[in-house]
Amino acid sequence: MAGQRRSHAFFLVLALSASLALPAGAQTAAAGDSPASLAARLQALIAKFTGSGLPAGIVSTNGRIEAEQVLVAAKLAGRVLAVLAEEGQTVETGQVVARMDTSELEAQLAGAQAQVRRAEKAVAEAQAAIAQRESERTLAEQEHERASKLKESGFGTIQSLDLRQSQLNVAVAALKAAQAGLDEAEASTDAARAEVARVQSQIDDSTLRAPRRGRVEYKLVQAGEVVAAGAPILTLLDLSDVYMTVFVPARVAGRLAMGDEARIILDPAPDYVVPAKVSFVATGAQFTPKSVETADEREKLMFRVKLRIAPELLRQYEDRVKAGVRGLAYVRTDPATAWPDTLAVKLPQ
């Protein structure tokens, strides 16, 4: 506080010195002003130099614009066939941004499809075998029944009946074996089809698509390069998730709530006031980053806060959205405090 009072006194002396240095005509005009007008002008001058003048329920801090970064990576190791997006280009969700070389996978797919055809042929053969075994069992059952009736009537022998019973047992066993062969052939067919689906999935994954709408930030590889599994190919900035990261002291962070209104004024566009809302307040404090200046140097522990800009607003001005831009953020610790006219929302037309 002592430092601030000395700063105020310095700027007050500077302002008075400037007024004394005015030409005689200007001094006469100033002398004609009322005391209230002079006091208002003096307060405005002090506020301009000291950064004060905000209502008690509004706090200003420095920050920078950031956007959620999305990596488009290769799922499998291989050679990059083509990169179809350039840095700075805006891509839509699902748009193809790169392709991997799939010649080896295409060969594997052809082999897997051949295995499917072989397995399907085995299924057909097993089904034919079952039909044959069923026919043999039916004949064996009929012959066994005739032998049994002949024995009962006294015209057949026990030896003949035992022979027909043995033939029936063989036919039943052969039918069961044929049915087991069909199950095995069908299982082989399912495995071959699964292999086709697996290879086809790898081929599909070799066509890299944008997971969401965004702007290409970096093109990390070129066509012809060999990359490992999981290697990033492109980085995208999600233009629907843009926010300013700021750091505030505990006395401010403790009074913020999710959804509280905020205002952002960017250094490259000081004439515009962008509306935002508090979307995140860190649960733990950290030391003040070197890149962030604070009004009170004595408060070393700060809380990270994210001020999110509405996606529908970003869509209107997405060609102007740039990550890394610095600016001033204003948060309101008292919802009853009205925003001053200087912080009224003002956007490009």
Average pLDDT over residues 72-81: 94
Residue 250: inside a domain, yes or no? yes
pLDDT tens across 155-173, in order? 878 888 888 888 888 888 9
Question: Coil, strand or helix: which one is 187?
Answer: helix
Residues 113-124 as b or e (16 or more Cβ within 10 Å = b): bebbeebbebbe
Instruction: Provide φ and ψ at 232, rounded to 5°.
Output: -70, 140
Crossing angle of the two packed helices 2-20 and 24-31, in degrees rounded to 10? 120
Residue 3: inside a domain, yes or no? no
What is the pLDDT, as a whole number, of residue 167? 87
Q: Which helix (H) or strand (E) holds 64?
A: strand 58-73
311 and 227 in a common domain: no
CB 81 within 8 A of CB 230: no
pLDDT tens across 288-316, in order? 555 555 445 545 678 899 999 998 888 88
258 and 227 in a common domain: no
DSSP letters for 77-118: -EEEEEE---TT-EE-TT-EEEEE--HHHHHHHHHHHHHHHH
333 and 247 in a common domain: yes
Q: How far apart are CA 258 and CA 115, in angstroms?
A: 58
Lowest-pLDDT choice from 15-29, 35-49, 208-222: 15-29
Residue 285's nearest CA partner among 245, 246, 249 is 249
What residues make up the domain containing 284?
Answer: 55-67+237-343
Task: Report whether pLDDT(37) > 60.
Answer: no
pLDDT tens across 78-109, in order? 999 999 999 999 999 999 999 999 999 999 99
Please tell me the pTM assigned to this model: 0.63
Categorize the per-residue pLDDT at 34 as very low, low, confident or very high, splitting at 50, 70 and 90.
low
Residue 305's nearest CA partner among 242, 241, 243, 246 is 246
pLDDT tens across 104-138, in order? 999 999 999 999 999 999 999 889 988 888 888 88
271 and 222 in a common domain: no
Single out the residue in 160, 187, 206 at which a domain terminates.
206
